[in-house]
Amino acid sequence: MPYVAPIKEMLFVMNELAGLSDVVTYPAYAEAGADVDLVPAILEEAAKFNQDVVAPLNWSGDQNPSSWKDGVVATTPGFKEAFAQYAAAGWQGVIHPTEFGGQGLPKLISTACLEMVNSANLSFALCPLLTDGAIEALLTAASPELQELFVPKMISGEWTGTMNLTEPQAGSDLSMVRSRAVPQGDGTYKIFGTKIFITYGEHDMAKNIVHLVLARTPDAPEGVKGISLFVAPKFMVGADDSLGERNDIQCVSLEHKLGIKASPTAVLQFGDHGGATGYLVGEENRGLEYMFVMMNAARFSVGMQGVAVAERAYQKAVQYAKDRVQSRDLAGSPGPVAIIYQPDVKRMLMTMRAYIEASRALAYYAASEFDAQHASPDEAARKASQAIYEFLVPIVKGFSTEMSIDVASLGVQVHGGMGFIEETGAAQHYRDARILTIYEGTTAIQANDLVGRKTVRDGGAIAQALIGKIKETEKDLASAGSPDAKAVLKQLISAREAFEVSVTYIVANAKTDVKAVYAGSFAYLRLCGLVLGAWQMARALLAAEHLRDGDPSFYGAKIATARFFAENLLPQAQALATSILEGGHSTNALEVDQF
Ligand SMILES: Cc1cc2nc3c(=O)[nH]c(=O)nc-3n(C[C@H](O)[C@H](O)[C@H](O)COP(=O)(O)OP(=O)(O)OC[C@H]3O[C@@H](n4cnc5c(N)ncnc54)[C@H](O)[C@@H]3O)c2cc1C
């Protein structure tokens, strides 16, 4: 089933919930030519490319994954040509600075483009996704010379980027990284070590690959404070951009995976033949700090992968539910009807739709906070937006990816037996979605971040600021006064109260009862996602009530979906709060030898 980008929905979220008209007026974006009137054309163009060129390769990538032979990786037929078109059309540069050849557009606009390429084909989209993160890390910390050497070619899509963190003994815990970087006295380093699970670590889609690598210098302190960041290209680069000899970085194998099969996941061996030449990015021992910039970008993007694959699974399920005829209508029909008339099938489709709309709205809202953080002319606003964006990143990552597995699973269920059979493609979305809660930090790592760095560290201040914003929306719902607004208000108040008591409990007990608090971290992440998603859905309802006459079908559906979310999904908030407040000790009750 072909992918159709939900452009009307995207524009609604951008305009009505994420403040697109304000974002484009920030001087940096206005200078780059950002304009509200241009956005629909950009989205149409992205939709056309992703629907026509990238989406048709999704199924073939699953059937004919990337392959390895003697260190050389061949990607799925068609990927190389599609990536060349992606690069030539300038899609890699949408968000990146104009002085390096990018378009300098807001993250809010690039987020919609990111959603489309990921809906079209998660495996394909991973290559530009990691390149974006690598560019961002170089722009944050590398010297002007290194930036000049690598960034323009990455933005143009001639070269791609990777992120080399993971080693066999160092996954979630990067303090255990062992790769070594030995200074050569000429400003370069020789890197030695094994990196595993490196996405697009080797491929045939670009002339060069720019690896960002975490490693330790000889006198580095133990733990995270002794990790430095290096950039090491596959082919050495001359001052005139010419490609020289092959660097000492070998792809020794590719992993065989449950999903995202077309994306090559490489084991890379650094330095087996004398050492891989690398350049220090920023200062020694500050690598993890810089890598966090890249990880934050990548974590947000992986959250968008969740929204994207869920949208694709939803579109497929709707189509199937309209086509498949089975059983009579409960209210009576002469013969069997399409299964979409069955209330339980509607329940599944509404659940999928409501989770997707809420997650998308929250992510786009976060993107606009990122834009304010970077481009608002008002310093206080920049700081406030930074805090909100950083609070939201683990939620966008953790909540949207967990929901994508649930949504893709419902997509299989809607198809019945045909969902379990590979030919329909529903199973591929389920398998593909399964990685999203694992890479770029598992959901547990996002939840730890949300509890520790984002909630406890500031005594719950940002969480309380968001609670204040929800209360403002509650007032707007009360003033709107429609039956839908009243129904949503009732549920939003009790869910917000559950969020509030959970924040208070976490802040009060994080030091004295740390294991109980962290036992509830996953529930807290889900609670935050649900309540903040419901808040965005409530705002969507208010906007849709004003706009309803312009398109009763579209806006009526927005209102009904917001109400469905509030009445059918949001009540989980109370259960999650119970688990957070009361469930920690029983989670930890068994001794290890009792398992
Ligand atoms: C397809 C794929 C692509 C990848 N791409 C890249 C890439 O491009 N670059 C790269 O560097 N890495 C990449 N990775 C690695 C990925 O980021 C790691 O797999 C991930 O961070 C988890 O690490 P791990 O696999 O070692 O699991 P572990 O860290 O061993 O975790 C195992 C389990 O323990 C839990 N756990 C661990 N520590 C804690 C904790 N402190 N609190 C609570 N629970 C905890 C985890 O949540 C998980 O459930 C990729 C992995 C895959 C599978």
| Closest C-alpha to ligand 1, atom 17 | 439
Q: Decide: residue 216, CB within 10 A, 0-12 exposed, 13-18 middle, 19+ buried.
A: buried
Distance CA 56, CA 78 (A): 10
Whether residue 1 has pLDDT greater than 80: no
CA 430 vs. chain centroid, Å, equals 16
Stretch (H or E) spanning 125: helix 122-141
pLDDT classification of 292: cutoffs 50, 70, 90: confident
Phi, psi dihedral angles at 275 (to 5 degrees): 115, 135
**What's the pLDDT score for residue 240?**
83
Element containing residue 229 per DSSP (H, E): strand 228-233
Determine, yes or no, domain membership for 508: yes
Tell whether 376 is covered by a domain: no
pLDDT of residue 479: 98
Say which of 357, 369, 440, 500 is annotated catalytic: 440
**Using CA positions, which residue lies closest to atom 14 of ligand 1?**
197
Q: Answer whether 444 contacts ligand 1 (Cβ < 6 A).
A: yes
Would residue 449 count as lying in a domain?
Answer: yes
Percent of the chain exceeding pLDDT 90 equals: 97
For residue 296, the model assigns a pLDDT of 84
Instruction: Note the pLDDT tens digit of each residue in 491-519.
Output: 999 999 999 999 999 999 999 999 999 99
In this structure, the number of other CB atoms found within 10 A of the CB of residue 504 comes to 14
pLDDT at 293 over 90: no
pLDDT exceeds cutoff 80 at 414: yes
Residue 573's domain comprises 442-590
- The chain-wide mean pLDDT, for the chain, equals 97
Instruction: Take residue 409 and report the two structure tokens written for it.
Output: 């699973």
Confirm whether 454 is domain-assigned: yes
Distance 564 CA to ligand 1 centre (A): 35
pLDDT bin (cut points 50, 70, 90) of residue 83 is very high
The H or E element that residue 164 is part of is: strand 159-164
* pLDDT tens digits, one per residue of 435-481: 999 999 999 999 999 999 999 999 999 999 999 999 999 999 999 99
User: For 50-81, how does the pLDDT look when each residue is reduced to its tens digit (9 = 90+)?
Assistant: 999 999 999 999 999 999 999 999 999 999 99
The arithmetic mean of pLDDT across residues 92-118, rounded, is 97
CB count within 10 Å of CB 267 equals 19
Residue nearest to atom 25 of ligand 1 (CA): 171
Q: What is the pLDDT of residue 22?
A: 97
Q: Are 191 and 212 spatial neighbours (Cβ–Cβ below 8 Å)?
A: no
Beta strand spans in 72-143 (E): 72-74
- If pLDDT is split at 50, 70 and 90, which confidence band does 241 have? confident
pTM: 0.98
Report the C-alpha gap between 181 and 201 in whole angstroms.
19
Q: Is the CB of 519 under 6 A from ligand 1?
A: no
3-state secondary structure of 230: strand
Q: Are strands 243-246 and 72-74 parallel, antiparallel or unpaired?
A: unpaired
In a domain, 181, yes or no: no
CA 542 to centroid of ligand 1, rounded, Å: 40
Q: What is the rounded CA–CA span in Å between residue 568 and residue 358?
A: 13
Q: Which of 79, 156, 151, 60 is nearest to 117 (CA)?
A: 79
Q: What is the mean pLDDT of residues 187-215?
A: 98
* Number of domains observed in the structure of the chain: 1
Residue 587, ligand 1, Cβ within 6 A: no
pLDDT-derived band of residue 349, with 50, 70 and 90 as boundaries?
very high
pLDDT for position 563 = 98
13-17, 32-36, 204-208, 298-302: least confident range: 32-36
Judge if the beta carbon of residue 267 lies within 6 A of ligand 1: no
Residue 513 lies in a domain: yes
Q: Which helix (H) or strand (E) holds 291?
A: helix 287-323
Amino acid letter, 562: A
pLDDT tens-digit map of 559-591? 999 999 999 999 999 999 999 999 999 999 999
Ligand 1 atom 4, closest CA: 197
Q: Name 586's Cβ contacts closer than 8 Å, sequence gap at least 6.
A: none
**Sequence-ordered list of residues with C-beta below 8 angstroms from that of 115, at least 6 positions apart, any chain:** 10, 304, 307, 308, 311, 360
Specify the long-range contacts of residues 322-329, CB closer than 8 Å, at least 24 apart: 324/415, 324/416
What mean pLDDT comes out for the span 125-149? 96
pLDDT at 295: 84
Has residue 435 been placed in a domain? no
Tell me whether residue 542 is in a domain: yes
Mean pLDDT for 107-122 is 98
User: How many Å apart are CA 431 and CA 523, to the nearest integer?
Assistant: 24
Residue-wise pLDDT tens digits, 209-236: 999 999 999 999 999 999 999 999 999 9
Ligand 1 neighbourhood includes 442 CB (under 6 angstroms): yes
Confidence of residue 291 (pLDDT cuts 50, 70, 90): confident
